[in-house]
């Protein structure tokens, strides 16, 4: 079996079945062309470089201009093009060339592999990337990754220090990717991939070389193990195996048993490993800062305090060789700070320049090196000529100290942005109790196993008060389960035989036995984690401008620093300012150099680069904690512009649990027989109305008369038995109309007026009057005909959700126009809309027409949101600018949406919009601060105010300002963690905290 560790498989992981499901969903969502001719072929192409709708239109036009291309559909967000073509007229390479000629990069996506092994082929890997400080670093890493042969896609997140790379494992390896990142001047390590045949284990019990050899011998003799690597430093074992021959739990059991219990193996959770790396990075930065501070304090002490203490000052002035003792001490201490503690700045800056890119470390190296090497030069010049100029060792030392302090505070603050992921991971239990049974089904023993080794089909025991370890079905026992972490409902839910349970929820009272159905990345909890992680990896469109600024920021600042040096120097030489402005024993060059160094070190591209990603990361985490899963920065940004929110009716505004309110027969048929006919016809339908009719008829069949109920009980019939239904033939479901079938050779129709009219079924006036009466009372009238004669009408109602009217009122107060669209008739739609408070209604809309309704609202550039839950809502969710899927809806609807309202509560629609508005406001404030800081700080550092105030900004003070500016932006984003969702108090009042 494949490893079932949470997070070991990314969202993009796809076996054969997953790939086929994804392909089917794309057809449903995008309306892809389905070839009717066997001569046509269809391929998908990965397109990189598209940034807007104009790009996708350009690609689509280039494809359609090819002779032989029948249909081309380009998905901007998925970076894909789906092309249907005649292979006799055009080839795959021609399609790829056409896209590249349009100015984009293209790669033909191969058909899903038929093999279960994923060792060879396309993989999606995650890598931690350390040392990134700004958007320029991100752009540099992404560019280098995309240049690696075999890499198809690379996305790097500054806030999470993670990179996600899609690559061909037959062309390149994870080690090649790590080496490329390190060659670019950054630290890198592999985290996880979507390989289904790899396991990372922590080994406990290795005491000697003999133990290592025993472990290696066991792995070499174990059938199914392809390769392994044991790191003796960290005691981590990485094993690649054949999932068809060896299961993950079997692998662990074999190793432990062969060591006679001496070795204990623990599955390494990727998220735990990432958390430990974050902690290690923070502690390493703190260690560097404290070391630099301890060495900088004596330098500052000798510069500021010692001149006021005659005894100490006389010691510093004591000449030792060509220099004074103070000069020797300054030189020694600052050299350690500059080249030992500050080595990482030189390494990172050197690699960045070697790759023709620049980052914050380049500015730090330029500023500190100028100060340090000038001071060394001044000492040597004084020793040779006897003219002693002032040195600025203190500037170099304090600069590095303050930069390290800023980076340490930044790592602490950035670490807090990932709290949402950490909390979600903590929901999953560490261990599970596995029940081992005999062939007859009798439990022979219990075994505690790592929860990451659970496999589908395992029978697990859940004790009272314990967390449920995996998604599955109850096979024994009953208990109440707290599912608030998913549904948001605090009331416990009763779980009995065959009831579905969700991993991570808490079993409250009784003991349960459950059969694991979904494990690893397939569980609900893992999907939530994946959605949050994917959103945090994404970039909001508002960040594009900041990325551009960051890419030119460092060269611009270096140019400004050079102009500052040149300007002050020439102004002094030409006599534009008096000599008494110069410090004692100084000259024009040194005076100008200090201004230039201050300009270089005070400029901060980090603040601009962190303004968006940290805010987006915090917002997605806050949204997850409030039951709103945001799929990316694009969706987060768009939601604040929403002008119209379009609601589906059934299952969205209503509870989706329709009930029959009335049943009237208009023929001489017996009421029971009428209901039996209708229920038989609807028994094959999955529509909510069909289920309501079937349940109503079943209830009538058994419990309409006491004698019938008693007979049913005495005969041992369960209440859910449907043996009383008639045999049905020729069943067909007619979208938007109803169903038709044959019972006893006679045709029966169950549906709306349109169905009856198309089949020439006459509707009498008194029947029409009864249907109108139902519709005006917010009921749906279901007409029934049998043998071409209308025999009765059913009234079906779907109660509104309790919060529907409140949410509609709240949206209006926020300046958003609520709209209802439904396939129901106009009278019912208007009655429901009136009850909920919506004035704009679109009724009798077919599923395919919902997308057209959305497009009509999008005219004029309006941003439109769609809230829905069913498969029929998927095209509309995809067509909307912002799609919001009810969490209890179908997988396809959730896949098509930008937001997932996990708690199926309409109040979260307001939460989504409000959170987006607050996040965008915070991002704008971040940009305003970062821009204002640089606009003000750089001229001040350049000495613009010096002629009037006679105040020069020392380089170390400029460095302190630079270090604090990025920390300020990160802390500003962290304020979003205090977000409180809007509280809807009454229908007429909305209070936003």
Active site positions, annotated: 648
State the DSSP code for 70: E
Task: Give long-range contacts, CB 8 A cutoff, 24+ apart: 752-758.
Answer: 752/781, 752/782, 752/783, 752/825, 753/783, 753/825, 755/783, 756/783, 756/785, 756/790
Structure-token pair, residue 378: 């001044």
CB atoms within 10 A of CB 926: 23
**What are the strands, taking DSSP E only, across 487-606?**
493-495, 500-501, 506-507, 512-518
User: How buried is residue 508: exposed, middle or buried, by Cβ count under 10 Å (0-12/13-18/19+)?
Assistant: middle
Which residues sit opposite 107 in a β-bridge? 46
Output the CA torsion 483→487→488→489 (10° steps): -70
Question: Listing from the earlier edge strand, what are the strands of the sheet with 659-665?
Answer: 659-665, 790-797, 780-786, 746-751, 738-743, 729-734
Distance (Å, whole) CA 618 – CA 372: 40
Nearest to 389, CA basis, from 159, 632, 583? 583
Distance (Å, whole) CA 701 – CA 639: 50
| CA dihedral for 91, 97, 101, 107, sign (positive or negative) | positive
Of all helices (H) and strands (E), which one includes residue 445? strand 443-450
| Residue 594 near residue 952, CB atoms below 8 Å | yes
Q: What are phi and psi of 129, to 5 degrees?
A: -125, 115
CB atoms within 10 A of CB 865: 31
Distance (Å, whole) CA 184 – CA 144: 8
Nearest to 4, CA basis, from 458, 420, 426? 458
Q: What are phi and psi of 512, to 5 degrees?
A: -125, 145
Question: Listing from the earlier edge strand, what are the strands of the sheet with 506-507?
Answer: 493-495, 479-482, 506-507
Cα–Cα distances in Å, from 406 out to 201, 452, 928? 36, 38, 20
Which residues sit opposite 473 in a β-bridge? 500, 515
Which residues sit opposite 230 in a β-bridge? 237
Distance (Å, whole) CA 913 – CA 639: 5
| CA dihedral for 269, 270, 274, 275, sign (positive or negative) | negative
Distance (Å, whole) CA 147 – CA 143: 6
| Residue 27 near residue 34, CB atoms below 8 Å | yes
Task: Give the three-class secondary structure for 981.
Answer: coil
Give, rounded to a whole angstrom, the gap between the first and last alpha carbons of the chain. Answer: 49
User: How buried is residue 701: exposed, middle or buried, by Cβ count under 10 Å (0-12/13-18/19+)?
Assistant: buried
Output the CA torsion 621→626→627→631 (10° steps): -30
Structure-token pair, residue 318: 């004591």
| CA dihedral for 65, 68, 69, 71, sign (positive or negative) | positive
CB atoms within 10 A of CB 823: 21
């Amino acid at each position: 079996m494949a490893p079932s560790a949470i997070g070991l498989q990314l969202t993009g992981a796809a076996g054969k079945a997953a790939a086929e499901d994804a392909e089917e969903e794309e057809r449903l969502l995008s309306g892809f062309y389905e070839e009717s001719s066997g001569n046509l072929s269809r391929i998908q192409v990965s397109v990189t470089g598209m940034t807007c709708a104009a790009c996708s239109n350009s690609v689509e036009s280039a494809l359609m201009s090819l002779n032989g291309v029948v249909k081309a559909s380009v998905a901007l967000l998925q970076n894909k093009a789906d092309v249907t073509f005649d292979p006799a007229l055009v080839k795959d390479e021609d399609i790829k060339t056409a896209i590249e000629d349009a100015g984009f990069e293209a790669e033909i996506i191969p058909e899903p592999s038929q093999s279960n092994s994923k060792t060879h082929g396309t993989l999606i890997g995650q890598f931690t990337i350390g040392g990134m400080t700004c958007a320029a670093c991100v752009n540099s890493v992404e560019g280098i990754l995309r240049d690696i042969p075999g890499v198809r896609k690379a996305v790097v997140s500054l806030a999470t220090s993670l990179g996600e790379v899609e690559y061909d494992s037959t062309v390149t390896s994870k080690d090649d990717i790590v080496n490329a990142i390190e060659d670019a001047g950054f630290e890198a390590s592999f985290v996880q991939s979507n390989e289904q045949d790899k396991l990372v284990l922590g080994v406990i019990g290795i005491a000697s070389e003999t133990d290592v050899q025993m472990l290696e011998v066991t792995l070499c003799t174990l059938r199914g193990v392809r390769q392994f690597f044991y790191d003796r430093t960290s005691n981590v074992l990485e094993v690649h195996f054949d999932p068809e021959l060896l299961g993950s739990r079997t692998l662990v059991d074999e190793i432990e048993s062969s060591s006679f219990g001496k070795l204990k193996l623990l599955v390494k959770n990727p998220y735990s490993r990432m958390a430990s790396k974050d902690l290690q990075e923070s502690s390493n930065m703190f260690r560097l800062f404290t070391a630099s501070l301890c060495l900088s304090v004596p330098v500052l002490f000798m510069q500021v305090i010692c001149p006021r203490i005659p005894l100490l000052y006389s010691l510093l002035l004591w000449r030792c060789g060509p220099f004074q003792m103070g000069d020797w001490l300054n030189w020694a201490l600052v050299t350690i700070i500059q080249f030992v503690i500050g080595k990482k700045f030189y390494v990172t800056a050197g690699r960045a320049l070697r790759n023709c890119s620049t980052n914050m470390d380049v500015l730090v190296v330029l500023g500190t090196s100028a100060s340090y090497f000038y001071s060394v030069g001044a000492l040597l010049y004084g020793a040779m000529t006897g003219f002693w100029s002032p040195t600025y060792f203190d500037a170099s030392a304090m600069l590095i100290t303050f930069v390290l302090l800023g980076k340490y505070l930044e790592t602490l603050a950035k670490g807090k942005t990932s709290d949402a992921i950490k909390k979600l991971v903590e929901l999953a239990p560490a261990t599970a109790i596995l029940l081992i049974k005999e062939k007859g089904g009798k439990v022979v023993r219990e075994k505690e196993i790592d929860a990451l080794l659970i496999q589908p089909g395992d029978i697990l025991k859940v004790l009272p008060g314990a967390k449920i370890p995996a998604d599955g079905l109850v096979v024994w026992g009953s208990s109440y389960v707290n599912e608030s972490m998913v549904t948001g409902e605090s009331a416990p839910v009763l779980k009995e035989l065959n009831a579905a349970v969700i991993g991570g929820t808490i079993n409250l009272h009784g003991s349960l036995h459950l059969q694991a159905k979904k494990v690893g990345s397939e569980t609900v909890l893992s999907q939530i984690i994946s959605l949050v992680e994917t959103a945090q990896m994404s970039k909001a469109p508002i960040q594009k401008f900041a990325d551009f600024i960051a890419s030119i920021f460092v060269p611009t600042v270096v140019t400004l620093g050079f102009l500052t040096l040149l300007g002050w120097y020439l102004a002094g030489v030409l006599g534009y300012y008096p000599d008494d402005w110069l410090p004692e024993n100084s000259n024009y060059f040194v005076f100008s150099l200090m201004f230039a160094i201050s300009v270089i070190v005070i400029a901060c591209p980090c603040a601009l680069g962190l303004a968006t990603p940290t805010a987006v990361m915090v917002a997605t985490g806050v949204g997850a904690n409030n039951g709103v899963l945001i799929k990316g920065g694009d969706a987060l940004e768009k939601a604040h512009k929403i002008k119209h929110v379009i609601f589906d009716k059934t299952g969205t505004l209503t509870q989706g649990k329709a009930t029959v309110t009335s049943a009237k027969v208009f023929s001489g048929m017996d009421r029971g027989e009428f209901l039996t006919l209708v229920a038989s016809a609807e028994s094959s339908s999955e529509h909510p109305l069909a289920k309501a009719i079937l349940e109503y008829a079943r209830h009538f069949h058994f419990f309409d008369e006491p004698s019938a109920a008693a007979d049913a009980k005495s005969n041992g019939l369960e209440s859910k038995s449907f043996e009383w239904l008639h045999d049905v033939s020729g069943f067909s479901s007619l979208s938007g109309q109803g169903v038709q079938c044959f019972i006893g050779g006679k045709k029966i129709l169950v549906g709306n007026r349109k169905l009856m009219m198309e089949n020439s079924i006459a509707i009498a006036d008194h029947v029409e009057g009864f249907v109108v009466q139902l519709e005006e009372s917010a009921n749906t009238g279901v007409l029934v005909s049998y043998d071409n004669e209308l025999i009765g009408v059913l009234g079906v109602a779907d109660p509104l959700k309790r919060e529907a009217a409140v949410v509609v009122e709240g949206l209006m107060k926020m300046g958003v126009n609520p709209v209802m669209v439904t396939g129901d008739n106009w009278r019912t739609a208007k009655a429901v809309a009136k009850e909920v408070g919506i004035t704009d209604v679109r009724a009798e809309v077919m599923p395919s027409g919902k997308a057209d309704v959305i497009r009509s609202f999008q005219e004029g550039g309006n941003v439109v949101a769609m809230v829905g839950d069913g498969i029929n809502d998927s095209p509309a969710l995809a067509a909307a600018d912002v799609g919001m899927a009810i969490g209890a809806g179908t997988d396809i609807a959730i896949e098509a949406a930008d937001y997932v309202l996990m708690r199926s509560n309409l109040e979260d629609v307001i939460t989504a919009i409000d959170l987006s508005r607050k996040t965008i406001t915070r991002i704008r404030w971040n940009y305003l601060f970062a821009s204002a800081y640089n606009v003000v700080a750089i001229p001040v550092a350049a000495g613009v105010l010096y002629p009037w105030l006679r105040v020069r900004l020392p380089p170390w003070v400029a460095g302190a300002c630079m270090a604090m500016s990025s920390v300020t932006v990160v802390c500003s984003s962290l304020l979003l963690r205090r977000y409180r969702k809007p509280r809807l108090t009454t229908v007429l009042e909305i209070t936003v905290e």
